[in-house]
Structure 1
């Protein structure tokens, strides 16, 4: 049997793509680095016959290497079989069944039959099939898919590395061990159990009182409560709220906050001051306060202290000047950032570091919001002297990303009219397909037969989708499709709505594309690119220095072999992308990179760059596209890959 400390170390090493310091492993286990050294020796003895070993790299830390993945997987299987035989708990809840299925499938060498799994868990085959939907969704997040073969069953398919990361999360029981939140050595670590108990209290109370919270708001409240509890337990009392208490105390949410706090106090034997209860009530009130009153400005001022309000406004003004996102007056964003920032700045004062499990997804899926988060971080450091790291920047990016989505919705979907030759049947087919595929981007305002088209007022129509050729000149664009919409038709419509086609040619220029180069380091690539762009008079001499300044805050390597370096503040008079692909991947901080896209945004830009960021997002998150792009040798082939 493995003890819980050894399991924690093994899990962390399996989940890491890079070295982990002894100091970090010691902090999350609440032991000394010397104890960790002994533990690693024991792990190496244990793993020596099982296809893996841990390397100790001088000055850097520890890294797990798997020499024989089959042997290592069989070893994990034997460990968990041993644990299961000691603790033969049959999974009861859907969550337990999903975790059990992931564990079983990850460790299996062959196929697993549904009937056998159902029998083992004492549930019906249909229950298992339902659970498998969740299993597939979770596995897809690790780039692992389930292959189903008639008469054989199910098998996981994916790279060994992805299987390893997934195994780190799902093979170890995290109930008694430290997890996503941990604090400096002078305060005890948060444990998964503590966080789960606090979350259960919040969920129970908000369900009982029918309060709806967004995921971001719930996450903020959980972190806030956990840290308030730790801070109070350690003797720190910080008054977080100075404004008019009475207006908060009178709200129903204050009573709910009080009930949450009473439960937390009973559970953890601490006493919260009244100001903390008011602060929690504000979290619960959130955007409700905005919708209840006509004077949203007054609410914002009441909720946020003046210095905090000023800080948020400086952040949003800087983001607006840089990116022109149109979100600086979003009251929901102002309150959301304000509520997040006060405890965030306090966290740093007390040496608390909150890990952000969503960081990789945020960087990949919201690159523009993440860049705006970086700017927020720079402003926070300038204004408060508190330097925040990329985990916290990721949380700020979530708020900004949500505001960008709201802004997109306000600018409204494109209005579309469907034209058909053969009457309503096929028009309805197109109508429902568009509704299901583009519910947010397109508002289908109606269908019509071709012969009635000249009688219609097209002033309210942004474009027409037609299943027949239309030769006459109409005042709106026409997208011609087949009556039964295939992938090609959907792509044509998507390209029109999102305007990505135009952006490919607009942002990539042949003279700024350097393909299949043989550089061996990040510095070589950046110096070469700077030299090329400065030689063409496109960037200022301080460009390279500003790029390194940006890299200092958080590396711009996003995974999937892609890096998007750029200066911390604009250093060019135009907006463009410069590309360098490499023959072999190079190390870029903790990730490998083979596709480098230098992003330059015009100073004081007022252009809408959303389509460019959508295009970059499409590249960053698609490993298949990156693989094709790093292998092409000509500009034309590069554009062709992106156009398809």
Structure 2
């Protein structure tokens, strides 16, 4: 039986908990993803449910629901889903555990007791002990220890690890928080609500003003994901420093390679923060903010055919790594993409801050990672292989999937650019009107393509001997040919467009299993 992703898990639970039909738009809204993503997840869930002898019933105009024979079967499935759920997923969706973990991290190294936690959250000592066990498992990979003794319970670890753990919790709240009516320009509603929940509106407004001035001084904007990351870390720093918890970053400001202009901006930001919290900050906090600025991605605007300003943000190291990454990817897919200027410049913008994030052990969250893994699974795997080879060549640390997801999108776009100007043959057995409709809809979806002909099945072989054809699009089932072929409906809907795109890109790729051999 295949494993379900965390989102598919949540989708199946929604269907299980509702006997009334649910529409695709409603499910997409509930899980904050596209209807296309929901459609794909449902296909995986249908396969997973085969072993349970349960089907997804589709009711035209009303939605879909699970076809479950009796209450006992429903209860068994619900029990299985609950027991199968990974402990970290359970942690993320248990608001009480998140609150307890937040308290322990925020107050570290101060101790609390099981009795105090039991009284605060109105649950038994046994439940608190179980919560602490789950929290302890969550903390271990983050380099933190949950210390329990007769005098009390507290979290031990470096200040940097503590702050990173708090970020992880806040990110989780951001991801699952309901939307609000906030119109904050740089923070999405979920992120804004999560931050004011932890730090209050006034501090959030102060940090936003601080970052607005920073971007004006830098003369370029940070992309939203990095803006939120920096905003969150500064708020945590203010909160921790107000409690007297200073950060120690050995040799943070001693490197001769530091950018003096960004270092000055970081110092000015720390001065304003000191005025805000009315307390002096150690010089290491300047290094802390500097590291996050140089590790942040930026927004670049395209202006016609003008050369973008990517190169001012590049270094010799990032140029070499970008070239090597493209070379590795080209070798894996056995197709040269090194001449794609947009690919090179797009990757270059990401690589330099990526190098800094690896150097400073800064983690980022890619909110689209699940969608990327589901919808671009093959390209994601190939990008992962190419990045692993590149990292090995340059002796870099392991690059996380969140980072690979951002790189993967650039390679996907490059491959989609390569399928432009293709020669398409349409095979259609319907009337002339239907053939013309199909042809016009193909060209509307792929305006750079050339329809070299619309023929019957009988004339397919003879036509292909006379003309160069890159793809056959057909409304009828045909005998297999050496050419890529996609079966579509006469009306060429969104699903047809997706299948055609995947077929064209897939025809450019070798089998992923063969690529994996390149690592060994």
TM-score (norm 1): 0.38
More strand as a share of residues: 1
More helix as a share of residues: 2
